[in-house]
Amino acid sequence: MGLSTAAIATEQSQQVLRIQPAEKAVFSNKSMIEDWFHQSPFFMLKHQSCFDFPNFPETQKVFHVLYFEWAHNEAQLKALFNGLILLGQSHGIVLEFQKELNTYALKYYEHNDARALDYLQKTEYYLSKELRFKQVLSSYLIQEKRHEQSQSLLQRELFVQ
């Protein structure tokens, strides 16, 4: 009974300090994935949900589902992305295309947050490389066509006389 107010306050602050890092760790990866979607030039997050398994509380597993769609309608990149999905996914991550809704569903357990974020970053990297390649190829083809036109113009001028 002889605890002073300072001792009680110190004990409470130590309990708070022990709780804060755990709470921060739980939400940090979730916000990283949300931030990734907000910064992504390709995708737009439509809806997300998470749920646990109340019949089996001892597992302490939380399942996340994120629904997203393309920010812009780029049919060629969409086809490439669908192909990347079919090639394979990381263990513990399911990415599906729902054709009737024209959306994608990313499903994973909370303990696979980092793996899900890494998978999304890698697919975005491949898509950006493909987009860059197509831009360079397009500019090359335009320059090649201009060069051929100038060559044909020179040949006509030379052979006219």
Tell me, what's the pLDDT at 161?
Answer: 61
Tell me, what's the pLDDT at 35?
Answer: 86
Residues 48-89 have pLDDT tens digits of 888 877 666 666 788 889 999 888 777 778 888 888 888 888
DSSP SS3 for 78: helix
Residues 27-46 have pLDDT tens digits of 444 468 888 888 888 888 88
Mean pLDDT over all residues of the chain?
78
Nearest Cα to 47, choosing from 85, 109, 104?
104
Cβ count near 97 (within 10 Å): 14
Residues 119-146 have pLDDT tens digits of 999 988 998 898 899 899 999 999 999 9
Tell me, what's the pLDDT at 105?
Answer: 92
Domain ranges of the chain: 5-160
Query: Tokens 């992305």 correspond to what residue?
Result: 81
Phi/psi at 61 (5° precision): -100, 140
Which residue did the predictor score with more confidence, 77 or 12?
77
How many Å apart are CA 56 and CA 62, to the nearest integer?
11
Tell me, what's the pLDDT at 58?
Answer: 67
